[in-house]
Structure 1
Amino acid sequence: MAGWLMFVLAGIVGALLLYVPGTVLLHLFRVPWNVSLIASAPVTVGIAQVLFLAYSHAHIPVTLLTFVLPLTIILGIAQVAQVLMRKKAAMSSHESAGKIAQGSNSVEKNAWNSLRTVLALPRSRGYLMVTGTAVVLLLFQTIFFVVSRFDGPDSFVQNYDVPWHYSIIKWFMEKGDFSATRSGAVVPTEGGTFYPTGWHALVALTAMLTGASIPLAANAINTIVICVVWPISVYALIRWVMRKPPVQQLWPLAFLLSGAFAAFPWRFMSFGPLYSNMFSNVMLPVLLLFGLVIFSPQSSWSTRFHILPLFALTAVGSAMAQPNVIFTTAVILAVYVVFRIPAYCSAALTHQSVAARVAMSVVIEVLFLSVVAVVWKFLYGLEFLQRTVTFTWPHFLRIRYALLNMFAVSAAGGAVAWAPQYILMVLVTVGAIWTLWHRQYLWITASYAVFAGFWVLSASQDNDVKHLLTGFWYTDHYRLAAATVFSGIFLAAFGLSVILLGLAKIVMKGHLSSAHNIASSRSENNDAENNELVALISGNTRRSHIAAVCVVLFTAVCLLVNMVPSFTLAGDHHQLGFEDVIEHLEDGNKATGKLRSYTQEERQFVKKVKAIVGNSVVLNQPYDGSAFMYALDNVNIFFKAFDANWMGHPSNDMWPIMQRLYDYSTDAQVRAAVKKSGARYVLLMDRHEYRFDKNDGYWHGYTNSYMASMWTGFDKLKPSTPGFTLVLEEGNNRLYRIDE
């Protein structure tokens, strides 16, 4: 129970760290409270990362004092400045000055007015209930899909990326240097050391403030990311995109569907796991919202001027969690701009003929897409992005099966080739068709189609075009599938509204004329609730009440059936979208499960190792489970993560250790490399789960695989190998002291 109380405390602390500084600071700069709250998470991350960078260069360690004090000073200065400005305006004795100040305030209020109004919580009791239901549903999904799969609050999966994430967090806490520009130095490779660490810094600060273990703090933060940051962010985007008729009153459907896609955020918890990418993606709706406001033809220049700094701050914060969020946002905004160019031209060329406006629109669209292509190719060729854009996730489907996957909203990965979501398949398809008749939302279908095409390309091809178009997402099927969700939520909501309208009309058969009269009356009176579906189910007749009940029940059934992980029909097991998420999380978190390269028994052995080695550097083969020892058990191992995560490439001193350590007694180059590393011990753990495949030259385990030729220096080391003295042994776990 104490562990779960710490879990709750860590979650609360993490949420406060994300939302208090940014919200207060933005509001002090006259940003409305609701806009400040929505933008707070990425803004806080961005400001914190700049602060950490400055501290790193000044050699000031990050502590509770050094983190809180500057934020307090900044907030204090902003508060004092605001008070002085108000006093100056109040004390002004000149009427003209008062008018100018009043006019300035009026312009500022008008600039924020539309956004503040759109993002306000609904006043209607019915809409408040639906909003609350959506939040509760997302909380239930988080508990059911994620938290209930934990084997205790501090459990952790042992997938490939975990040692890298945990080691960076431990590095931050130990060194006090939270700079993203140096985080990659956790493994001393040659080359770049930059790695985006917005998520890692948040976990490290939470662990430092609460005393929680790294796995517990990480689990608590991930829970907050899903059930707090995501709903706040996606709520804002939904309210803006669906702010006008005919979908103005249907936004609760999209909010209810925000957790319906297995591709995001749920699969990011089971694959990788992609913790930092998940953190950046839950902030993407805020970044996208500000981008849409800036590029909207209806936005005034004053509004754009006020939103632009927020857009920039949000971009920095989101990118410092994971940069590919910028490319996802850029693609969606580029599609939006293409579909809005005719509106720009119509506004600018009001006195021109329709043919002239159409011709100008086509020319500008071609020019705009050409510029996008040139910028895309330029970024693709940048040296510092080569590690990302050249990374290859191999194809795993033929193109026709990839297309079928995407149509079925399966968007699975290499480990699971088919995980359809049939309910969403119907809703998204109907919604996409609906946008053909409501062309102001056709850009949503187009952006969905772009990322769906990217996913198909990634899943079915291995060529240069794949790298050019999907390289900014590591050519990763899972990241690209997640990118479809930001458009898919709206298409599913549109589709559900069409089906619900049909259902309501069936129930109201024979009573439609009165309902239509109500809708027409509301429209004439400029009543916001002029949606036909809302009109049908909000009447005071018995049929309207029945229709409302049917709509609610049908929506509930769709949501619940969509969450069913699998079913058996005629003896055949059919896996659906959420089953692989649940299975991976449940099996991966079991402390005694087979998916453990670092077992409980080995951790007991490592306690004895720690008592012997103290803070000495210990050479290790990371794939035997030892990659977790630094973060979890404070053993100063040399290889703190698996090689695919390293920011740089192995140095000339690392290769001799990795490939020829067993020749230490006879190879001068190996001895020199070991001496430079400062290592005094070698630790080898049990690797019984690995099997060698002579066809590809890899050792394959339950969760990881590695190239045999890279680690022969450790794999060939035996108790009889000269140059090493066996100090401690339990089963296949051995600690050697390196002879002088």
Structure 2
Amino acid sequence: MTDWFAIAPTLSAAAAVVLLPGLLIGFVLQLRGLWLWAAAGPISVSSIAMSSVVLSLVGLPWNIATVAGFAVVLAAVVWLCARVWFSQSALRITAADDAQSRHEIRLGSRAFGIVTAAVLVIGGAIMFWRVTQSIGDPSNISQTFDNIFHLNAVQFVLDTKDASPLTIGLMNSPSGNLGFYPSGWHALVSLVVLMSGASVAVATTATIAAVAALIWVSGAVLLSRTLWGSGLAVTLVSGAVSAGFAVFPLLMTYYGVLYPMFLGFSLVPVALAVVLGLTRFERDALNLALPTRWLLLLGLIPGIALAHPGALMALLAFCVPIVLAWGWFALRASKSPLKVAGVLALFLAAGFVALLKIRPPKEQATWWHITSLFGATKDFVTSELDQSFIPVVLGVLVLVGVLVALIRHRKTDISVLGMYVVAAGLYVTVASVPVWSLGGARFWLTGVWYQNVPRIEAMTVFATLPLAVLGASWLIERLVGWVRRGSETAAGAGAGNQARRLSIAITAVLAALVLVGVQSSAQLHRVIERSWKSYQFTEKAPLLSIDELALLERLDEHVEPDATIVTNGWTGSGLAYAYADRWVTMPHVMVDFTPDALVLNGALNQMAPGNEVCDSVEAENAEYVLDFGKREVHGAHHDFPGLTGLSKSPAFELVDQEGKAKLYRIVGCGPQSEGQE
């Protein structure tokens, strides 16, 4: 843990990146309290994502000053809209006054603000602690396939001074075949590097911690309170539960590794809270004008979409039951059924078009099912996801929440039950239906998430978290109410204050027990253990071994800044770009090779002065070769015959070696070798 204290400046930079733009813009939008804090992260990501596109289009470089300048301009536009056009006053919350309220414990505004802040601090601290456990040393990297791209893409942003989703794909495809790639994650990490001076690896770790502890936890608390009100039990339990799920956020920070989806999903709870307000399904009334709500929602969408389009589709999927419930109640009460029907038709049509357009090619979405229909249904109902253990406390709380919602069947209850059905339908389909069965129905429903079980497991938290909070808060409020009535009866008149203090104390104790219960989950511990193993540097690590890391860390001592290194990216050698800022011929495993790079891959070891290989060496500015042996990430095997047998050829000079990891200088093309003297 002491290593994490050592990167405090980097963690501070990550917190500043994910909060400061959003705090400024949210404040001028007249958000206050929890709404301001929870929305700050998603607003910051959206501002940064939009600036990546705008700055690139107008030709301005990507740096702290230009990104901050864009945020200030955006804040001015928001101020003009909210203050001048909408006449929006500062946010106020009016607590609901209904039958449910008699079971709730509510505090005065000052005490309530202190409690809310404490919940966010404690929940965030626990989430941060879990992140440190799941990664280990902050300089560790995820030893996974996709991380080759994610680390190198951050360095590409820093080198090109361009974080646009329209240009970041040029790293893999200089010809522009990859026309769009969601770059929100890489934009964030690059700003952390620029602000702190940390390495790409450490900045990545710090950004994981900031998103999980600051954005996710506060968003989960906001969503829960929007649905179930700002009672003490809901507030305390939502903080406790937010850091207790195995499937999110920790699963997304080691599986894949899916950093963009991790970021995008972390933004969804706040957007769902805004949608609930637009449909007037929020438990406590806010004085936000309708145009302000729409401005906030529309402002959040770019960040979610540019973090990962799959996150935008998750938002749409879980909005379907909310909008349908709104339409049902609106049609029953409205004098304008055609208008309501038109809104529903427009929403469903837009969602259908998005479902058709926002999806990967079929050949990239071929993950298989993992169990039977019965098995998938059982796993979902018991919360036994990630093919591991049943999280007993969370599983029971979710089922209690389902029962409470079924019995009460209020508007918010119906909406959340609908979200639960959506989560169940997606999970059971992807977990139990064979890939191309039912006429491709599985692909139609889940293809946007690559027909991939872990991705959809992570999404289920949008339904199960609110239900767990409902179940826990309902149990606590009923138990506290029973104790309070007994106390008042025994003490007689004048015992109201004492009974209230006792109720607050019991609520806090029970919420603490919920926290202990969810944190003791064997499922959560198993995910942390798996994650930790996937982040360690070992002699046989799947991506970078200890020896390979050591060689990369001193690479800049031997390789000139403008030199290109020939690599087999599958072995991890392509990470020379992220670690040493030296360009490589294979910055990811999925690249569009130039004709000259293909020549090097196939025949570099056959070079001779004046032959075709030497022409390709010169064209690629290739001066070095990294040889990390034959071990490839994910146990893959790819033939690059030109990169074998280098030690036996006089055309290559061994420059540095750590264990079996070797750096060679190319000296076999005559005049070029003289330039290296």
1:55 and 2:25 aligned = no
- The letter for the 2-side match of 1:451 is A
> Where does residue 476 of structure 2 map in the other structure?
500
1:679 and 2:642 aligned = no
Query: Please, which of 281, 292, 301 is the counterpart of residue 265 of structure 2?
Result: 281
Query: Please, which of 568, 574, 591 is the counterpart of residue 627 of structure 1?
Result: 574
TM-superposed deviation, 1:642: 3.1
> Where does residue 10 of structure 2 map in the other structure?
10
CA distance in 2, matches of 1:547, 1:34: 24
Query: Please, which of 398, 403, 413 is the counterpart of residue 377 of structure 2?
Result: 403
1:421 and 2:377 aligned = no
1:301-322, CA deviations, whole angstroms, 9 ceiling, x for partnerless residues?
A: 9822221122111111222222
- The letter for the 2-side match of 1:684 is D
Question: Cα 1:474–1:294, aligned 2, differ >3 Å: closer, same or farther?
Answer: same
Question: Cα 1:372–1:307, aligned 2, differ >3 Å: closer, same or farther?
Answer: closer
Please give the residue correspondences for 1:346-385 in structure 2 after superposition, counting only pairs within 5 Å: 346-349=332-335, 364=341, 368=344, 375-382=350-357, 385=359
1:575-611, CA deviations, whole angstroms, 9 ceiling, x for partnerless residues?
A: x211232213333344446436423333333466544
Contact 2:200 2:578 in 1 (8 A): yes
CA distance in 2, matches of 1:115, 1:327: 32
Question: Cα 1:705–1:238, aligned 2, differ >3 Å: closer, same or farther?
Answer: same
Contact 1:151 1:591 in 2 (8 A): no
CA distance in 2, matches of 1:325, 1:516: 55
- The letter for the 2-side match of 1:409 is S
1:530-573, CA deviations, whole angstroms, 9 ceiling, x for partnerless residues?
A: xxxxxxxx95577x8777666544443332132225xxxxxxxx
1:448 and 2:420 aligned = yes
1:258-279, CA deviations, whole angstroms, 9 ceiling, x for partnerless residues?
A: 1121111122222223222222
Where 2:248 maps in the other structure, the secondary structure is: helix
Contact 2:547 2:659 in 1 (8 A): no
Question: Cα 1:78–1:556, aligned 2, differ >3 Å: closer, same or farther?
Answer: closer
> Where does residue 327 of structure 2 map in the other structure?
341
Please give the residue correspondences for 1:126-525 in structure 2 after superposition, counting only pairs within 5 Å: 127=112, 130-148=115-133, 150-188=135-173, 191-243=177-229, 250-296=234-280, 303-349=289-335, 364=341, 368=344, 375-382=350-357, 385-387=359-361, 390-412=364-386, 417-440=387-410, 441-461=413-433, 462-463=435-436, 464-500=440-476, 503-504=479-480
Contact 2:237 2:515 in 1 (8 A): no
Where 1:735 maps in the other structure, the secondary structure is: strand
Contact 1:197 1:321 in 2 (8 A): yes
Which structure 1 residue ranges, 5 or more long, are not aligned?
87-100, 351-356, 519-537, 566-575, 691-698
Query: Please, which of 496, 499, 517 is the counterpart of residue 561 of structure 1?
Result: 517
CA distance in 1, matches of 2:242, 2:18: 21
TM-superposed deviation, 1:67: 3.6
Seq. identity, %? 20
> Where does residue 603 of structure 1 map in the other structure?
549
CA distance in 2, matches of 1:25, 1:505: 41
> Where does residue 101 of structure 2 map in the other structure?
none
Please give the residue correspondences for 1:597-676 in structure 2 after superposition, counting only pairs within 5 Å: 597-606=543-552, 609-615=555-561, 616-643=563-590, 657-658=600-601, 676=619
1:110-138, CA deviations, whole angstroms, 9 ceiling, x for partnerless residues?
A: 9x5558999xx963676556535533442
Where 1:234 maps in the other structure, the secondary structure is: helix
TM-superposed deviation, 1:186: 1.9
CA distance in 1, matches of 2:11, 2:381: 37
> Where does residue 570 of structure 1 map in the other structure?
none
Query: Please, which of 76, 89, 101 is the counterpart of residue 109 of structure 1?
Result: 89
CA distance in 1, matches of 2:455, 2:355: 18
> Where does residue 569 of structure 1 map in the other structure?
none
Question: Cα 1:595–1:443, aligned 2, differ >3 Å: closer, same or farther?
Answer: same
CA distance in 2, matches of 1:476, 1:515: 59
- The letter for the 2-side match of 1:499 is L
Contact 1:199 1:275 in 2 (8 A): yes
TM-superposed deviation, 1:451: 1.6
TM-superposed deviation, 1:505: 7.0
Where 1:202 maps in the other structure, the secondary structure is: helix
> Where does residue 27 of structure 1 map in the other structure?
27
Where 1:264 maps in the other structure, the secondary structure is: coil
1:45 and 2:45 aligned = yes
Question: Cα 1:138–1:659, aligned 2, differ >3 Å: closer, same or farther?
Answer: farther
Contact 2:26 2:36 in 1 (8 A): yes
- The letter for the 2-side match of 1:467 is F
CA distance in 2, matches of 1:251, 1:26: 22
Contact 2:601 2:643 in 1 (8 A): no
> Where does residue 673 of structure 2 map in the other structure?
none
> Where does residue 662 of structure 2 map in the other structure?
734
- The letter for the 1-side match of 2:57 is H
Deviates more, 1:232-241 or 1:718-727: 718-727
Where 2:663 maps in the other structure, the secondary structure is: strand
1:19-50, CA deviations, whole angstroms, 9 ceiling, x for partnerless residues?
A: 33333244345555764544333333333333
The Cα RMSD (Å) is 4.2
Where 1:435 maps in the other structure, the secondary structure is: helix
CA distance in 1, matches of 2:585, 2:58: 27
Compute the TM-score of the two structures, normalised by the length of structure 2: 0.83
Where 2:625 maps in the other structure, the secondary structure is: strand
- The letter for the 1-side match of 2:519 is M
Question: Cα 1:499–1:33, aligned 2, differ >3 Å: closer, same or farther?
Answer: closer
CA distance in 1, matches of 2:567, 2:404: 58
TM-superposed deviation, 1:143: 4.1
> Where does residue 97 of structure 1 map in the other structure?
none
Compute the TM-score of the two structures, normalised by the length of structure 1: 0.76
Contact 2:148 2:572 in 1 (8 A): no
CA distance in 2, matches of 1:78, 1:378: 29
Which structure 2 residue ranges, 5 or more long, are not aligned?
98-105, 670-677
CA distance in 2, matches of 1:117, 1:248: 14
- The letter for the 2-side match of 1:55 is L
TM-superposed deviation, 1:428: 0.7
- The letter for the 1-side match of 2:627 is L
TM-superposed deviation, 1:330: 0.9
Deviates more, 1:593-602 or 1:220-229: 593-602
Where 2:576 maps in the other structure, the secondary structure is: helix
CA distance in 2, matches of 1:517, 1:439: 36
Contact 1:199 1:279 in 2 (8 A): yes
- The letter for the 2-side match of 1:252 is L
CA distance in 2, matches of 1:379, 1:670: 47
1:713 and 2:641 aligned = yes
Where 2:158 maps in the other structure, the secondary structure is: helix
TM-superposed deviation, 1:705: 3.2
TM-superposed deviation, 1:228: 1.6
